[in-house]
């Protein structure tokens, strides 16, 4: 790829073993930054990681005009670096930005920023099988104004952080029927900061009750499952992979899309349809085997151990032959270059 952005390198790398640190704790040596003003992107550059100077009047600090993405780079079996599904993440970033009245990032700027940042910090991409480099593109509104308005100025930045398992154990979740994550016509589909901030209170309450995560339900009936914490929710019951449809209130997950594509190719029956917690409860009570898992870039495939429905805890299937583990392995093999990349999901350099 031709390089049009400038790179100033850090004198000495801070590279360290991050295996035991929590997700996203340590940034790599460099970051990407570009400024938007007067209707255009200016001065795109890769610079040593440093703190920002921001006026307390910056609009992002007051009215939540912030959007982010999350994608990953892997070291492949042949030692090359692979940024997984960069196109799909770029498209989703721009959809989220449009919802928040923020300027689009042209594809070449998004791809170039990530390509050269990961290349600059390539020593930070974990070499171990369970590691990857998490890439966090984001945008914030930076115009200095207390009045409520759409910002005329923005920063588009990319950070990276080495990562291992997001969850280190299968999850105990509860069906949430009091609080909602999103509503029709709201911002549920956008990867904007406010969606995450609003989820903290119910998630904290669930933690206090002994759960790892929430399974959100719809805002009208508090019955149909939406998504789980930072992931899309998937269930395997009666030999069918079922996941809630993309209706505007849930995130259009890239891992969700990869899993559904592979499952269909494997000949599995897949249904993107509304699934109520009552249907799940019936399946458990009829003694059916129920697999449940979360799908997301950070978590990849996060097995769910149990689901609490109206105070009763039901155990999910976690056997070695579970469908979720097979698909997870298939995804892993595609990213590593051990299986053909039939859909051109890999961006390799």
Q: Point out which span in 154-162, 210-218, 238-246, 292-300 binds ligand COI (CB under 6 A).
A: 292-300
Of residues 136 and 343, the one with the C-beta less far from ligand COI? 136
Note whether 297 binds ligand COI by CB under 6 A. Answer: yes
Of residues 143 and 181, the one with the C-beta less far from ligand COI? 181
Give the span between the Cα atoms of 64 and 101, in whole angstroms.
11
Note whether 70 binds ligand COI by CB under 6 A. Answer: yes
Q: What's the min distance (Å) between Cβ of 117 and ligand COI?
A: 16
Q: Looking at the DSSP assignment, which residues form a beta bridge with residue 128?
A: none
Judged by CB under 6 A, which of 131, 244, 294, 296 binds ligand COI?
296
Q: Point out which span in 37-45, 76-84, 101-109, 293-301 binds ligand COI (CB under 6 A).
A: 293-301
Q: Is 109 helix (H, G, I), strand (E, B) or coil?
A: helix
Q: Point out which span in 6-14, 174-182, 232-240, 296-304 binds ligand COI (CB under 6 A).
A: 296-304
Q: Is 123 helix (H, G, I), strand (E, B) or coil?
A: helix
Long-range contacts of the stretch 22-25 (C-beta < 8 A, 24+): 23/134, 23/161, 23/163, 23/164, 23/166, 23/298, 24/134, 24/136, 24/161, 24/163, 25/161
Q: Which of 24, 6, 26, 7 is nearest to 16 (CA)?
A: 26
Answer yes or no: are the C-beta atoms of 165 and 133 closer than 8 Å.
no
Q: How many residues sit close enough to ligand COI to count as binding (CB under 6 A)?
A: 5
Q: What's the min distance (Å) between Cβ of 68 and ligand COI?
A: 7
Note whether 298 binds ligand COI by CB under 6 A. Answer: yes
Q: Which of residues 179-208 bind ligand COI (CB under 6 A)?
A: none
Of residues 70 and 126, the one with the C-beta less far from ligand COI? 70
Q: What's the min distance (Å) between Cβ of 84 and ligand COI?
A: 11
Of residues 143 and 189, the one with the C-beta less far from ligand COI? 189
Tell me the backbone φ, ψ of residue 288, rounded to 5 degrees: -75, 155
Helices (H), 158-312: 193-197, 200-208, 254-265, 277-285
Give the span between the Cα atoms of 118 and 326, in whole angstroms.
29
Judged by CB under 6 A, which of 195, 199, 230, 308 binds ligand COI?
230
Binding site for ligand COI (CB under 6 A): 70, 230, 296-298
């Amino acid at each position: 790829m031709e390089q049009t952005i400038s790179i100033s390198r850090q004198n000495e790398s801070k590279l360290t073993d991050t295996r035991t640190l929590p997700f996203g704790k340590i940034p790599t040596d460099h970051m990407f930054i570009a400024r938007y003003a007067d209707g255009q992107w200016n001065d795109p550059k890769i610079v040593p990681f440093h703190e920002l100077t921001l006026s307390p009047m910056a609009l992002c600090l007051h009215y939540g005009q912030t959007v982010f993405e999350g994608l990953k780079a892997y070291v492949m079996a042949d030692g090359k670096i692979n940024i997984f599904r960069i196109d799909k993440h770029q498209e989703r970033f721009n959809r989220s930005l449009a919802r928040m009245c923020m300027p689009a990032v042209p594809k070449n700027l998004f791809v170039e920023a990530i390509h050269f940042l990961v290349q600059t910090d390539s020593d930070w991409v974990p070499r171990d099988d369970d590691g990857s480099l998490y890439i966090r593109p984001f945008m914030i509104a930076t115009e200095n104004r207390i009045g409520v308005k759409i910002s005329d100025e923005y920063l588009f930045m990319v950070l990276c952080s080495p990562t291992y398992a997001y969850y280190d154990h299968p999850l105990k979740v509860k069906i949430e029927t009091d609080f909602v994550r999103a509503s029709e016509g709201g911002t549920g589909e956008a990867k904007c900061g406010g969606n995450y901030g609003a989820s903290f209170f119910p998630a904290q309450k669930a933690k206090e009750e002994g759960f790892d995560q929430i399974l959100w339900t719809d805002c009208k009936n508090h019955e149909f499952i939406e998504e789980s914490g930072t992931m899309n929710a998937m269930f395997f019951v009666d030999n069918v992979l079922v996941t809630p449809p993309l209706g505007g209130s849930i995130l259009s997950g890239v891992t969700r899309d990869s899993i559904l594509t592979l499952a269909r190719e494997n000949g599995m029956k897949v249904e993107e349809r509304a699934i109520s917690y009552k249907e799940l409860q019936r399946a458990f009570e009829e003694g059916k085997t129920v697999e449940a898992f979360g799908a997301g870039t950070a978590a990849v495939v996060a097995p769910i151990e149990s689901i609490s429905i109206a105070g009763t805890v039901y155990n999910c299937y976690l056997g070695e032959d579970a469908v979720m583990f097979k698909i997870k392995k298939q995804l892993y093999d595609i990213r590593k270059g051990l299986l053909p990349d039939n859909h051109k999901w890999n961006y390799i350099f």
